[in-house]
Chains A and B, each alone.
Chain A
Amino acid sequence: MAATEQLILAATRTIEAPFMILVWFTVGVVILAAAEWTRLAVLYVVKTLWVSFSALAFLWVVISSMGTSADFVQHPGRALTQFVDPNCPLAIAAAVAAMLLVGGIIALSCWTGRLSEQAQTARRISVVVRIAMGTAAVVVVLTAAHANGFDRWAVNYSRAWSIARMGDYMVNSALISVGAVGLIMLVASMAAYALTRLEFPGREAVLYSFIAALAIPGQLTLVPLYLMLRTWRIEAIDFVFMDSRFGLTVIYAAGSLPFTIFLLTGFFRSLPGELSESAAIDGCGEMATFRKIYFPLAAPGLTTAAIFNFIGIWNEYNFALVFITNPELKTLPVGLYYLTVTQQYAAEWPALFAGIVILFAPTFSIFLVLQKQIIAGLTLGSVKG
């Protein structure tokens, strides 16, 4: 028995407690989910726990970013515990109200789900009401926090925006992302069209080399690119590729090429081929055919690819970290990391949280607005593989 114990001990030793607790929890969940009559309950519970934890984390970040540093250091959990603090009836009321509103949203969405497709007005009203309830919940919670001393949001956010330069970083990120995405869309759509519609020798080879390039890790090209960029400059205007946004934009565009071409070739293949024939009859060359006919047709696929590329480049960290060292030109993720590092010296945690919120906010808004498209695009990509 000692041997078995040793073995179990050794096996569990590889993962240290407290993470072992998570392991056992997961094992328990899986077992229970396998059993028939506990399945539903367990799934509900797990989902709710997970989502509540995520929601709590975000709430903690947002509310802490509105407070003072001294307060945070002394009572880091106060952002959340104020909502269950018996001395704070306002906060408790706000928490209860927010939960009711969220429950109402869920109930309303179920009810909407049951409605027939034709009930247009009812659906629209439901959407509006849900949005209103969501906003109300947010406002209620934030007001309660504000009244409890989390009222320094203006200072914290303005500090993060201007002094910590998150505003600059956001502009840089936006510029680079839009520029790179635009370039990629141009170049990749042309290439995908050529690779699927046109016949020329070596077509297969080129296509497969693009696809094989998906396996090249970014880290491999990092150092050679660094070496390469040092020789790239335009002497006349003293422009160097190395520490510039333009250089980074072009590198991102090139790096996303394999994936985008892969995605777009699948898409272009699904378009009908007769159009090109009719265009040829009308006397259009390849380029004109592409521009006039296929490009507009491919718009949905292109937008999906554009969204994914945009998000990928917006969130990209590795290359931006290496290639841009000038503090004024950094992008948002690198800026946040840099902020974390400097916070080691200054310990202004709420301002760091403000920085995190600034990082999350644009992605969150894009996500909310384009949710359907994003999810559809993801699944589309998976099928075409």
Chain B
Amino acid sequence: MLLAPAVVLFVTFVGWPALRAFWIALHTWTGFAPRAEWVGLQNFRLLFGDTVFEQAWGIAGVIALGAAVGLICQFFLPRFNPLGLSRRWLGRIRSWAWMPLLVVLAGVLFWWLYAVTDGDSFFRACVKNNFMYMVVGGVFHFLYAFLFAGALNLPSLRGKKFYRTMIFFPSFISVVGVAVLWQRMYDVRNGLLNSLLQALSIEPIEWLSADHMFYAIISAGVWAGVGSQMILLVAGMQRIPPTYFEAARVDGATERHVFLHITLPMIKEVIMITLTLWVIGSLKVFGLVQAFAITHDEKSSVISVRQYELAFSNRDNIYQMGFATAMAVVLLLLIVILAMALRNLRGRDELEF
């Protein structure tokens, strides 16, 4: 049948290994010889520490509370309106309640993971780094994407295509290229940035020292990623029928008002898509971080890099494929939870005119 080859390929190379991963996470395996030792949940216990069960109820309670607040704002308030809020406010709460809900959910999740993984402090640091990448990187990502999208949308701007090309190009090239390029630029002795600083008679800065390395990586990531977000936002903005803008202008609205109340809601769909992609992508980020340095200490490592290091590199003569797979399983759970949350929030949102 037509479908057969796809299903076969998929199941063999994606589906079955994914299931197998759970099985491997329950073993200790060096990856040299076929023998793998069954250790049960020990890998997870090593990751999470023993307090997970004690804390589970408390955490579940907080999550339930946050979900309840969000649900109340979404559904019950508009329906029953005990506080007597005006329709406008209700509409606002309803359409924007997903944002704080998401933030609360993500925050709680990471806080829980952070507090609870007292088993492996390196892993905990990696989780924190992933979170920082998502939040800090995401904020700057979206800020600049909006700025540039807004700029590209201005009718009076000259040379749009040139700007668009230059900003989008870094999204297109391999993350390794970006990582190596920026690593060279950040170099203390021979880097572009420090040469520029020297030309301006400023002291050279140690960009890649332990403190700064991760933010250097985030900056490189933002530089590379803004382009694709910008393109999507621009496309979304251009799809808004100009009648809305004309009507608003006739009504005498300022540009800012137009932006906040017309543009933003109408591109909400696009924003949700890019947000989902960003969230999932930032949890999976590997190439950019790994290619930046040969070794990563806990301040600059992320989950996937740590997992790769433990499973495949032998700098310290420790070969732990089972443990690394356990980490990957946790990563998967994180992604699935966040993706499901995003989907649900998206699904419940409808634009009201």
A and B touching (Cβ–Cβ under 8 A): yes
Question: Which residues of A are at the interface with B, using a C-beta cutoff of 8 A?
Answer: 14-16, 18-19, 22, 26, 29-30, 33-34, 36, 39-40, 43-44, 46-47, 50-51, 54-57, 60-61, 72-73, 76-77, 80-81, 105-107, 109-110, 186-188, 190-191, 193-195, 198, 206, 209-210, 213, 215-228, 230, 250-251, 253-255, 257-258, 261, 286-287, 290, 311, 314-315, 317-318, 321-322, 332-334, 336-337, 340-341, 344, 349, 352-353, 356, 359-360, 363-364, 367, 371, 374-375, 378-379, 382-383, 385
Contact B235 A22 (CB under 8 A): no
Q: Which residues of A contact B212 (CB under 8 A)?
A: 16, 18-19
Contact A340 B147 (CB under 8 A): no
Q: Which residues of A contact B163 (CB under 8 A)?
A: 47, 51
Bound Cα distance from A47 to B161, whole angstroms: 13
Shortest CB distance A380–B (Å) = 9
A-B residue pairs, 10 tightest by C-beta: A77-B195, A254-B13, A191-B6, A379-B235, A315-B174, A224-B17, A224-B20, A106-B159, A317-B287, A333-B176
Contact A258 B10 (CB under 8 A): yes
Q: B100 contacts the other chain (Cβ, under 8 Å)?
A: no
A43-B151 in contact given A191-B7, A220-B328, A228-B17 (Cβ < 8 Å): yes
Contact A225 B13 (CB under 8 A): yes
Contact B174 A19 (CB under 8 A): no
Residues from 243 to 298 in B contacting A, C-beta threshold 8 Å = 254-256, 269-270, 273-274, 280, 283-284, 286-287, 290-291, 294
Contact A255 B14 (CB under 8 A): yes
Q: B107 contacts the other chain (Cβ, under 8 Å)?
A: no
| Apart from the given pairs A227-B20, A340-B180, 5 other A-B contacts in the complex at a CB distance below 8 Å | A26-B144, A219-B328, A220-B21, A333-B176, A367-B165
Contact A261 B6 (CB under 8 A): yes
Partner of B162, one of A106, A318, A353: A106
Which residue on A lies nearest to B335, using beta carbons?
Answer: A215
Contact B18 A220 (CB under 8 A): yes
Partner of B311, one of A60, A222, A363: A222
Contact A109 B255 (CB under 8 A): no
Partner of A195, one of B3, B17, B162: B3
13 contacts between A and B (CB under 8 A): A39-B255, A54-B167, A55-B166, A220-B332, A223-B321, A223-B324, A225-B13, A227-B20, A227-B321, A333-B175, A340-B180, A359-B174, A375-B235
A378-B228 in contact given A109-B161, A191-B7 (Cβ < 8 Å): yes
Residues from 167 to 225 in B contacting A, C-beta threshold 8 Å = 167-170, 172-177, 180-181, 183-185, 187, 189-192, 194-196, 198-199, 205, 207, 211-212, 215-216, 219, 223
Q: Which residues of A contact B256 (CB under 8 A)?
A: 34, 36
Residues from 3 to 29 in B contacting A, C-beta threshold 8 Å = 3, 5-7, 9-10, 12-18, 20-21, 24, 29
Q: Which residues of A contact B294 (CB under 8 A)?
A: 341, 344
Bound Cα distance from A186 to B332, whole angstroms: 29
Q: B85 contacts the other chain (Cβ, under 8 Å)?
A: no
Q: Is the interface of B mostly helix, strand, loop or mixed?
A: helix
Shortest CB distance A302–B (Å) = 15
Contact B18 A254 (CB under 8 A): no
Bound Cα distance from A76 to B12, whole angstroms: 50
B residues contacting the other copy or chain, number (CB 8 A):
111
Contact B177 A360 (CB under 8 A): yes
Shortest CB distance B187–A (Å) = 8
Partner of B176, one of A29, A106, A336, A378: A336
Contact B140 A26 (CB under 8 A): yes
Shortest CB distance A271–B (Å) = 15
Contact B175 A317 (CB under 8 A): yes
Contact B2 A290 (CB under 8 A): yes
Contact B14 A54 (CB under 8 A): no
Contact A375 B255 (CB under 8 A): no
Which residue on A lies nearest to B168, using beta carbons?
Answer: A375
Residues from 327 to 342 in B contacting A, C-beta threshold 8 Å = 328-329, 331-332, 335-336, 339
